Structure 1
């Protein structure tokens, strides 16, 4: 099994675990975490979704908090129907899709990007804009995946075996529609995030021996370092911030990290964060059932006994989207505000 296959298996496993732990959302409130922050009222509410679906999930929110994208599953008598869901405020549009189609990111113009297979079994990224779903151009490979889009419409991601046996970082430049280019980046690279000024972050190196990097708008590449780390990954970026993980020498688990892209300095995030799934331009981070500001985190409302909540994405305005699962019942898409 090559490194690319193992990476795809790990990504698929993580997605599957979240999907199976995905139900009926109710409103709830909570107050802000201590630490000098102003008192906030944190609320959870259900996003509208097709009522005849077995489960629905919100995967991404744009920086303004207006646009949301997600998925749903409608169980049929003979076969299941998978749906992509696109919200503009409270209005939701559904679009029939293949089982593997998953939204990844949205920009402030409501342009959604995502990954799928187009029936080929290999990665085939797509873009949804102006009410239409279109496949993005690809290079010959064993799989191509998108990771992020900025407000200019530039998209980044990565492909496997474009260079035999390696991953390469890719960009779909908005200034050159219909094209995809291999980025000048470290060997065996994956691009994980892009900011509005074109700064790109990612990880590179052999499987299990990754190093984080940042590519500046002028093309200069710098390492995102963490003292004492055996490996690190940079998975997302917004504003001047990037987030990822580092494995410290002698450690028993990975450490959650936020980097300041202006100078490469880093902050340790609360290890109570079970995962890192999103960051906004203010450096606020979400993952699992928590939201983190500074070095502290707080539990998002809506969970409880046999009830699981998970945050997927956060806007610059602080709107968080994700799912709520009442176990053995139904998964529903939810939105948190004021958290």
Structure 2
């Protein structure tokens, strides 16, 4: 649900506007391997405001109903950042200077993300019930949120509460209006939270990162691989987490962990980057989707055309962007 331009805070929000659909993007259709049941894998363009010069989809909720993204519009005062929320194919455009990056969305349509306070300090926000609101913070030189689960629990991190360190933070849905510092490894940066409250993340000094998982009862265990010089954890859903480990080679190895016991499998290294994982263990990133140890290329790319998968629902719906002289939000189905 992971995976990024921030703006100063201004009181209030504007009403949502229904944007005009731009229709469906025509592209090649990926096909199944010989002997397998054919599944049509298609890409379509999500509706987006026609007066923006770039727009993308950043997150999809596990049911596939809600998609959240961002767009940029040129205004008299410069770039204006917009929050985009799709409920199925109906788009609401939210104008707010609080909004910067979109981090995640849950099945209730609650969106979280990060912006900038007028002091230049990173400031997280939440969109729910038709309005953008600032999340409570602890003293810090910058705070960011990374993920929200189905209960509405939010995780993120703050800097320099202890000089030179990061600390893990949680905004518990059961205690509205509060934020708490979690017991976690030193320099901890949570990157995901599952439906049952399991939290994953990375910790440690630059270049010597370690991966970790925090159980709902507060117990912490490492996420790593034999011989790993460093580990970074990127996202989690259900019993699965994904990340990268440095094994001394020229490129990091992309892996998927089983959170039940910490075991791992290596992902297809043709995967250019890691975007997200769903509760079935299906992984997306770059221009590929990975099931098991094999991957397939998503349709829509080509010569001088870039595509990027950012998030995947449990239904298999994938969202991201397509850049063909203009960045547009897209959705893949049947892949």
TM-score above 0.5 = yes
Residues of 2 paired with 1:178 and 1:99: CA distance?
A: 18
Within a 5 Å distance, the mapping from 1:18-97 to structure 2 comes to: 26-34=25-33, 38-76=37-75, 79-97=78-96
Measured at CA, do residues 98 and 190 of structure 1 come closer, stay the same or move farther in structure 2, by a change above 3 Å? same
The CA distance in 2 between the partners of 1:46 and 1:29, in whole Å, is 14
Q: Which ranges of structure 1 fall in alignment gaps of 5 or more residues?
A: 1-10, 17-22
Match of 1:19 in 2: none
- What's the CA shift for 1:305? 0.9
Where does residue 331 of structure 1 map in the other structure? 327
* 1:221 and 2:203 are equivalent in the alignment: no
Q: Distance in 1 between matches of 2:182 and 2:79?
A: 39
Partner of 1:144: 143
Q: What is the alpha-carbon root mean square deviation over aligned residues? A: 2.0
2:17 corresponding residue in structure 1: none
Moved more, 279-288 or 69-78: 69-78
1:246 aligns to what SS in structure 2?
strand
Q: 1:305 to 1:213 in 2, by over 3 A?
A: same
* Range 222-231 or range 36-45, more displaced: 36-45
Superimposed CA distance per residue, residues 239-260 of structure 1 (whole angstroms, 9 cap, x where no aligned partner) = 10000000003x1111101000
More helix by share: 1
* Mapped contact 1:124–1:143 kept (Cα < 8 A): yes
2:260 to 262, 275, 278: 262
2:126–2:133 CA contact under 8 A, matched in 1: yes
Give the stretch that moved more between structures: 187-196 or 26-35. 26-35
Aligned residue number for residue 319 of structure 2: 321
Q: Distance in 1 between matches of 2:96 and 2:270?
A: 36
Q: Secondary structure at the match of 1:120?
A: coil
The residue that corresponds to 2:172 in the other structure is 173
**Equivalent residue number for residue 20 of structure 1:** none
Q: Out of 301, 308, 311, which is 1:310 matched to?
A: 308
Matches within 5 A, 1:227-266: 227-249=226-248, 251-266=249-264
Contact conserved, 2:148 with 2:193, CA < 8 A, in 1? yes
How far apart are 1:15 and its partner, in Å?
Answer: 4.4
1:97-132 CA deviation, whole Å, 9 max, x = no partner?
Answer: 338711111111111110111333221000001111
Following TM superposition, by how much is the alpha carbon of 1:235 offset from its aligned partner in structure 2, in angstroms?
Answer: 1.4
8 Å CA contact 1:240, 1:260 repeated in 2 = yes
Q: Across the two proteins, how many residue pairs are aligned to each other?
A: 318
User: Partner residue of 1:194?
Assistant: 193
1:15–1:175 Cα change, 3 Å? closer
Structure 1 contact 168–190 (Cα < 8 Å) conserved: yes
Flag the 1:44–1:206 CA change in 2: closer, same or farther, 3 A: same
| Superposed displacement of residue 30, structure 1 | 2.6
Provide, for residues 219-268 of structure 1, a one-character-per-residue CA deviation record: whole Å limited to 9, x for no partner.
Answer: 1111112011100011110010000000003x111110100001111010
CA separation of 1:32 and 1:240: change in aligned 2, threshold 3 A? farther
SS in 1 for 2:189: strand
Deviation at 1:72, TM superposition (A): 0.9
Q: Which residue of 2 aligns with 1:294?
A: 292
Give the structure 2 partner of residue 274 of structure 1: 272
Gaps of 5+ in 2: 6-21
CA contact (8 A) 1:31 1:39 kept: no
TM-score (norm 1): 0.89
* 1:283 alignment counterpart: 281
